[in-house]
Amino acid sequence: MSTKMIKNWQEANQRYLMAAVRVVQEELTLQRASLDNHSEKDKSKQLESSTAKKELKQAAKNLPAQAALDTLTTIFGLSSFERKVLLMCAGMELDSNFATPVCSTQGDSIGFLPSFSLAIAAFQDAHWNALSPNAPLRYWRLIEVNTNQIITKSPLRIDERVLHYLTGIQHLDERLVGVVEPFFDKSELVPSHKELVNCIVQEYSSISGNSIIPVIRLSGSEVIEKSSLAVNVCTQLKLNLYTLSGDAIPNSIKEITELLRLWNRESALGACALFLDCDKIDTTDLSRLQSITSFCEKIRGVIFISSRQWNPQLRRPRIIFDVHKPTTTEQLMLWNKSLNEQTVNLDGQLEKLVSQFNLSVHTIRQASAEALERYSKNENKEEESSEKLEDMLWSTCCAHTRPRLDDLAQRIPSLATWDDLILPELQRTTLREIAKHVRQQSKVYGEWGFAAKSSRGLGISALFTGESGTGKTMASEVIANELHLDLYRIDLSQVVNKYIGETEKNLKRIFDAAEEGGAILLFDEADALFGKRSEVKDSHDRYANIEVSYLLQRMEDYRGLAILTTNMKSALDKAFLRRIRFIVQFPFPDAIHRAEMWRRIFPENTPTENLEVKKLARLNITGGNIRNIALNAAFIAADKEESVRMSHISLAARSEYAKLEKPMSTIETGSW
C-alpha cells in the first residue's frame, strides 16, 4: 500500500473500531437499564434499532481493506462473545466515557475494570468456555486476567500489543525486544541465489495451504548470505523477517512455552517469519539441542533454520536448501562491479584472485571497499598503481579469510626465501614444481578444461619426509612466501581423537575454514594418523582407516595446497602414498650443505669474528640444530659484549648436544 492508502486505511480502521466499541458500550448500557426495569424484551428491541450498529455498518463500507479487528477475529477464531469481551476491554482504554456503564453495572464490589461476570450478564451470546485457559482470549494473552481472584470476578485488561494492533499500529511486542531482531538487508543477490529464492518461494507457495508449514533449513557456512536470501524470500511472501539466536532459546519448558506463545502471536499479528541462527551453537550440548528442537517443532508460521553442521531431526516436514557461495563467474562479476573503474588497472589479475579466494558476496564487497580506501591513501599510487592495487586486494582477501582458521590452527609467518633453503637440487626442483602447480591451477583446471574432464584429484597434496630439523617446515614457509599465501600448521597428534567420528569432525572444521582463502595447510606428525594400514580386527581399526581415507579425500578436493610431514616414511602405507601428488625426501645434510648453512645462518647485522665454516660443518647435525646453536651462541656473545666467535659456538653446541642426549665426538670438535 502507498503512504496515502495506509493513512486512509488507518483513519477508516479507527472509525470502524470505535463504532464497534460503541456497539458493545450500548449493550452494557442496556444491561444496566434492563436490571432497573426488569425488561429483557425491551433490551432486545433497542439493540435491533441501535444507532451504533448503523454506524458500524457504514464504517465497514468505507474500509479500503479489512479492519484490524476483523483480521484478529479471523486469525484467532474468536466467537462473537469473545470479540465483545475484547472490545469491552479495549473500550476502557480508548473511550473515557466507556467506564460509566461498566462501573454502574458492576457496582463498587469489583472495581473500575470489567469482568467476565459482567460480560456473561450483558451479552446475549455469552458462553462459559470463553473463560477456559485454552480458549483464544486467555491462550493467546489477548486479555490479562488476575488469576489470584475468582475467575468471573477478576478484572480484565486488554494486552497492550493487541490494543495497538487494533488501532492500526504495528510494533514488536516489548517482551520480544532484545530477544529477536529485525532484518533489513536489501543487498542485491547474485543470479544463483535469486534462483534459489524463487525455488523456496515456489516450494512454500505449493504447500502454504497445508495446516503444517514445513521448516526451511538453510545449510552452508555463510550466515550473512543465508540471511540475505531469507530476507528476499520474505519480501516476495510479504513477510517481515526477524532473527533469533539458537543460544537465546531458554532451557526450561515453561520459558520455552511462553516464548513460543509470544512469537506465534507476533507472527500472526505482524505477518512475521523467523530466522533461527544455529550456526554457532555447541553441537555437543544435547540439552540445548533438545530445547531448540522442541521450539522448532511447535513454532507456527514460516521459520528458517540456519545451521552449518547441525541437522535437526524434527517431527514435522522439512525442506533443505544448500546455500553455496557465488559461482566463479558471479564472484568475478562482483569484483568488477565493486571495484568499478579501477578494474582497468588490474589487467586480468582479478581472475587469479577469484581462482585463489572463494569469497561470499558480503566479503567481496567489504574487501573491495577496504582495498580501494587503502589505495586512495597511497601517496605513490601513480607509480605502478596496478601492482599496488593488486597487492592490496590480495592481502585484504588473506586478512578476511583468516579468522575462522585462526581458531583451529597455528598461523606461521612466512619469511623464508629460496636462498634460506639449503637442499640438494632434486628436492629444490620438486618444491618449485609444487609452487608452479598452485600458481597455475586456475589456468590448467579452468581455462584448459582439466576440471571439466574430471573433478577427482584436483587438490594439490605433498608429503615431506625426513628427520626433525631437515627443513620440512622451512620449505613450506618458502612456498607460502613465494605464493603470498598464509601458512597454517595443524598438529595431527592433537587432531586425532580416541572417540569414533571425532577426528573426522576436527578435520572437516579445518578444511571448511580453509576453503575460502586456499591457505597452505601443513599437517605435522602425519604418522599419528597414517600408520601401516592395520588389519581390521574391530571397529576402532575400521574407523582409523576411515579417518585416513577422509583426510586424503579432503586433501584431493581441497582447492589449495595441503602438506603432510613425517619423520618415518616407512611407517606409511603405500596405498595411501599413491594418493599423494608430490613426495619430497629431506635428507640429513652432508658436510657441504652444513657448511653452506653455517655461511648463511647469521644475519648481516650480527657481528662475527674468525668463524671457520669448514670446522663448524663437521658438527653432524641438522639445519634445525644449526639454527639453535647459532641463536644460543649469539646470546652468549651478546651477554659478554663480544662478537660471535668459535668459542661461543662451542659452548652453544655442547648445550644442544646435551639436549639431544647425543655425545660430541672429538672428530667434530677436536680441532677447535
Sheet holding 318-322, edge to edge: 181-182, 240-245, 272-277, 303-307, 215-219, 318-322
What pLDDT sits at residue 148?
A: 72
Q: What SS3 state is found at 39?
A: coil
Look at residues 324, 473, 504 and name the one whose alpha carbon lies nearest to residue 411.
Answer: 473
pLDDT in tens, 2-34: 666 667 899 999 999 999 999 988 888 876 655
DSSP state of 526: G
User: What are the backbone angles phi and psi of residue 214, rounded to the nearest 5°?
Assistant: -65, 150
pLDDT in tens, 276-293: 999 888 888 889 899 999
- Using CA atoms, how far apart are residues 330 and 520, in angstroms rounded to an integer? 25
DSSP string, 553-612: HHHHH-SSEEEEEES-GGGS-HHHHTT-SEEEE-PPP-HHHHHHHHHHHS-TTS-B-S--
CA distances to 309, 311, 476, 495, 562 from 508, rounded to whole Å, are 10, 16, 22, 11, 14
Look at residues 527, 525, 524, 523 and name the one whose alpha carbon lies nearest to residue 572.
Answer: 527
- Using CA atoms, how far apart are residues 372 and 393, in angstroms rounded to an integer? 8
What pLDDT sits at residue 113?
A: 79
Look at residues 283, 479, 486 and name the one whose alpha carbon lies nearest to residue 402.
Answer: 486
User: What stretches in the chain show pLDDT beneath 50?
Assistant: 38, 108-110, 384-386, 532-543
Q: What SS3 state is found at 527?
A: helix
Q: What SS3 state is found at 306?
A: strand
Amino acid at 631: L
